[in-house]
Structure 1
Amino acid sequence: MDGFKDYFIAEFVDEYVSGLITRREALRKLAAVTGSVAVAASLLAACTPAQPPAQPTPAGPSPAPTTAPTPQPGVTVPPDDPAIEAAGVTFPAEDGATILAYLSRPRGAGPFPAVMVCHENRGLVEHIKDVTRRLAKAGYVGLAPDLLSREGGTDRLDSAQVPGILGNVPPTRFVQDFQAAFKYLQAQPFVRRDRIGMVGFCFGGGVTWRVATKLPELRAAVVFYGPNPPLEDVPGIQAPVLAIYAERDNFVNPGIPAIENAMRQNGKVFERVVYPNTDHAFHNDTGPRYNAEAARDAWSRTLAWFERYLI
């Protein structure tokens, strides 16, 4: 595929069939991506959604907690953690646009290795900011650009608009914004300019693949269930790539053999991990498909990959 439109269509149809979103929600999302309610309706016409789980019988009042409450979903490392610094930043894109981003770093002068983070199709939300803070806690500078910066930024958009916008933007724009992010990081005195990697999730995994094909200076990449890049661009990849997949991911997994063959045939450093009994987006602890055990293991593998190739 030339862009991410087909990927988003497959993802939203899958969410509808799996019973994660209503028909109304699916129509709204698909219409935003395709630009047509009629096309959206035709995509759902042959689909039979799963039955939603039965609602539990209301229980009585819960007893008062005797221990501290668990952290808010999506916040594993709070912004005020004393071991890190985290804040919004901006940097210029190649076309002169101002890119909004969120940067987290360990306290201290550094320099530290850095990891660029690409968000999912929901934009730069709190979960992705938290991923940068997790990286900072582990000793890396984490930078997550908002790929909706030219549209005003994720926070200023209706969440239902976001996939439609991203699905209709040429992928080259995303790649160029990460090339600009790379240059921004290289200019920071607290960053090791020759030790910069990248991680992306879902749509962001697909962007990570594409950035790796066009940014030979990238030192390591981790792709969480991302769609393949154009296979003819694989020879341009210089970074070792760890690709993480979910066993029940019906719209990304069919591409695994092709990318695995392309990486092997071109002599690239590549490792593939498929987590059993998991679904697409299992790493996102704010989503309905979150799998805590798989997410913890995948994150440990991610940090080990960066330790191997960025430290």
Structure 2
Amino acid sequence: MTSESLEYTIDGRNYIGHIAYDDTRSGPRPGIILVHEWWGLNDFVREQADKLAEQGYTAFAIDMYGDAAQADNPDDAKAMMLSVKDTPGELEKRYRGALEVLKAHDSVDPERIASQGYCFGGAVSLNMARLGLDLKGVVSFHGNLGTDIQIKPGDIKGQLQVYTGGADVMIPPQQVAAFVEEMQEAGVRFDLINYPGAQHGFTNPGATAKGQKFGFPVGYDANAARDAWEGSLAFYKRLFG
């Protein structure tokens, strides 16, 4: 299996993603974009890409901050996230640029692309679908479900798989309910799976330690993480065969 850094540029700025695929397989296969948490592109997301590659996909963990920058505390993470999020059009530009890199890869069928994100990355993936990008599917793990994007039937091209924690104070029940209403009114095919007692960041084994270190309401839940991972694989199998 090939698992390596992949540098690319968007508007003259350097980005360093991580691509993984089984180089013993022949022919094009589905590609999956992975979007990191607000911490930046770290080992957790790279490992998730490698695991997807083992399942027969080409997985591209993209760099939303540039130069694979990472934060080691919540204040810096928030500042890095907002510097991109609060600049009009910047998230979409960076995502679309990385999407074109994945589509152009020799191992990828450009007509079969999905997006998978964690926390910040889950929100990014959902919003890219809302903006009408040609994604066959989106998987969001503990991603924010709110948005300012107004959608109508037909805007979202693919299917959605959303995993959220019942004890996630960052994604309260009102936000979940509003998301369900939004998707139903837009006629979107989606599944929403809620894990009672699971906190924000429940798929990341490092979440509990970070929560304790910074007094931050995040935590790992092994059972929820395993179920969500297995559910996402079943989702991709249904999408791509």
Post-superposition CA distance 1:257-296 (Å, at most 9, x none):
1111111111111111001121111100122011111100
The answer as to whether partners of 2:35 and 2:117 remain within 8 angstroms in 1 is yes
Once residues 149 and 175 of structure 2 are traced to their aligned partners in structure 1, the CA distance between those partners, rounded to angstroms, is: 10
**CA apart distance, 1:171:** 6.3
Question: Given residue 247 of structure 1, which amino acid in structure 2 is its aligned partner?
Answer: G
Once residues 163 and 88 of structure 2 are traced to their aligned partners in structure 1, the CA distance between those partners, rounded to angstroms, is: 21
Match of 2:224 in 1: 294
Which one of 16, 20, 32 corresponds to residue 104 of structure 1? Answer: 20
Rate the CA distance shift 1:181–1:310 in 2: closer, same or farther, 3 A: farther
Question: Given residue 223 of structure 2, which amino acid in structure 1 is its aligned partner?
Answer: E
Rate the CA distance shift 1:239–1:229 in 2: closer, same or farther, 3 A: farther
Once residues 19 and 129 of structure 2 are traced to their aligned partners in structure 1, the CA distance between those partners, rounded to angstroms, is: 21
**CA apart distance, 1:158:** 5.7
The answer as to whether partners of 1:246 and 1:274 remain within 8 angstroms in 2 is yes
Secondary structure, counterpart of 2:157 in structure 1: coil
Match of 2:147 in 1: 229
Rate the CA distance shift 1:158–1:275 in 2: closer, same or farther, 3 A: closer
The answer as to whether partners of 1:220 and 1:310 remain within 8 angstroms in 2 is no
The answer as to whether partners of 2:45 and 2:61 remain within 8 angstroms in 1 is yes
Q: Which runs of 5+ in 2 are unaligned?
A: 209-218
Q: TM-score, normalised by structure 2?
A: 0.87
Query: Which has the larger strand fraction?
Result: 2
The answer as to whether partners of 1:110 and 1:190 remain within 8 angstroms in 2 is yes
Question: Given residue 68 of structure 2, which amino acid in structure 1 is its aligned partner?
Answer: G
The answer as to whether partners of 1:133 and 1:142 remain within 8 angstroms in 2 is yes
The answer as to whether partners of 1:243 and 1:272 remain within 8 angstroms in 2 is yes
Aligned residue runs from structure 1 range 63-142, under 5 A? 84-93=1-10, 95-108=11-24, 109-142=26-59
How high is the sequence identity, in percent, across the aligned residues? 26
The answer as to whether partners of 1:196 and 1:310 remain within 8 angstroms in 2 is no
Which one of 232, 236, 240 corresponds to residue 159 of structure 2? Answer: 240
Question: Given residue 54 of structure 2, which amino acid in structure 1 is its aligned partner?
Answer: K
Count of residues in Structure 1 that have an aligned counterpart in Structure 2: 224
